[in-house]
Amino acid sequence: MPGNKLSDKIFPVHPPVSGELLLEVENVTVSFDGFKALTNLSLQVPRGSLRVLIGPNGAGKSTLLDTIIGKVQPESGDVRYRGQSIVKLSEHRIANLGICRKFQAPGVLDGLSVRENLLVASKPAKGVLSSFKLGAGAAQSKRVDELLDLVGLRHKADDLAAGLAHGEKQWLEIGMVVASDPELLLLDEPTAGMTAQETAKTAELIRTLAGQHTVLVIDHDMAFVELLGAPITVLHQGQVFREGDLASLRADPDVMEIYLGRPKEATDKEARHAQA
């Protein structure tokens, strides 16, 4: 019985439905003081899928996520979620629909332990104080334990988040995002600043999340993108430049060309991977 599986209890399942689109970005244009950060951009993400977004610096990747979460208003176009337009909704209402974005910088609460961070994140509607007043019920504490296992931080559960390594903070934050039970997770450069080993672990974590969640992940690091093994959308100058798997994109001279001016950060990181 599907409802009896442990994973079903922890992460309520959003089963992939063949061909069903969870997110549809349609002809979206976003301007900042006349500069078009996105031009007529369309993107479709099936429910339960994992999708990677790549593209040179300034391609519009983060702006696309800002538009999906309602932080940025497009000047034209539509964003549909579960078939409904969300483009006019507030950020708060969009978050309540189950869309959660993890930003580049970790947003963990340094003064709380790893476990407390996950507890707070799993009670978003009641706020920090009331979640402590209520205490952690057995079910909630079990759920937090499972989240600790998911992100590989059970052994650090009672450590202050402030003392975590950079990669561990990123995993904790992914755990916090999952704790709020979003259907659509948007991850902006989750491996920035990570070692090759941390990057590989992050890829494994994200692959675990897909299926039960729909995941859209941005990253510059091709070694990480390869480990994700998911369809890739290449953005360039605010438009979809190509879509395909990594092998076809690597064989595409036009894609290689837009990457010639790749960010130093990505180049440095790939050099570290090569050494590892």
Nearer to ligand ATP by Cβ, of 14 and 236: the residue is 236
What tokens appear for 105 in the block? 């910088």
Helix, coil or strand: residue 114: helix
Nearer to ligand ATP by Cβ, of 60 and 182: the residue is 60
From residue 34 to residue 53, what is the string marking binding to ligand ATP with x (rule CB under 6 A)? ---x----------------
Decide if residue 58 touches ligand ATP (CB under 6 A): yes
Radius of gyration of the chain from its Cα atoms, rounded to whole angstroms: 19
CB of residue 126 to ligand ATP, shortest distance in Å:
32
Nearer to ligand ATP by Cβ, of 57 and 130: the residue is 57
Decide if residue 230 touches ligand ATP (CB under 6 A): no
Q: Which partner in Mg ion, ligand ATP, none is near 52 (CB below 5 to 8 A by kind)? A: none
CB of residue 264 to ligand ATP, shortest distance in Å:
11
Q: Which partner in ligand ATP, Mg ion, none is near 32 (CB below 5 to 8 A by kind)? A: ligand ATP
Which residue stretch of 19-27, 59-67, 82-90, 142-150 sits at the interface with ligand ATP (rule: CB under 6 A)?
59-67
Contacts 24+ apart (CB under 8 A), 258-266: 258/55, 258/56, 258/234, 259/56, 261/56, 262/56, 262/220, 263/56, 263/57, 263/220, 265/192, 265/220, 266/220, 266/221, 266/222
Distance separating alpha carbons of residues 126 and 131, to the nearest angstrom: 6
Decide if residue 187 touches ligand ATP (CB under 6 A): no
Which residue stretch of 55-63, 83-91, 166-174, 244-252 sits at the interface with ligand ATP (rule: CB under 6 A)?
55-63
Residues with Cβ within 8 Å of residue 216, at least 6 apart in sequence: 23, 45, 51, 53, 65, 184, 185, 186, 187
Q: 250 phi and psi, to 5 degrees?
A: -65, -30
State CA 31 to chain mean position distance. 24
Decide if residue 62 touches ligand ATP (CB under 6 A): yes
Helix, coil or strand: residue 21: strand
C-alpha distance from residue 37 to each of 32, 44, 138, 144 (Å): 7, 19, 47, 39
Nearer to ligand ATP by Cβ, of 71 and 142: the residue is 71
What tokens appear for 113 in the block? 């332990």
The count of other CB atoms within 10 Å of the CB of residue 17 is 11
| Cα dihedral 143, 145, 151, 156 sign | positive
List 53, 55, 62, 181, residue binding Mg ion (CB under 5 A): 62
List 27, 42, 57, 267, residue binding ligand ATP (CB under 6 A): 57
Decide if residue 55 touches ligand ATP (CB under 6 A): yes
Please report, as residue ranges, which positions from 114 to 153 form the binding site for Mg ion (by CB under 5 A).
none
Q: Which residues bind ligand ATP (CB under 6 A)?
A: 32, 37, 55, 57-63
Q: Which residues bind Mg ion (CB under 5 A)?
A: 61-62
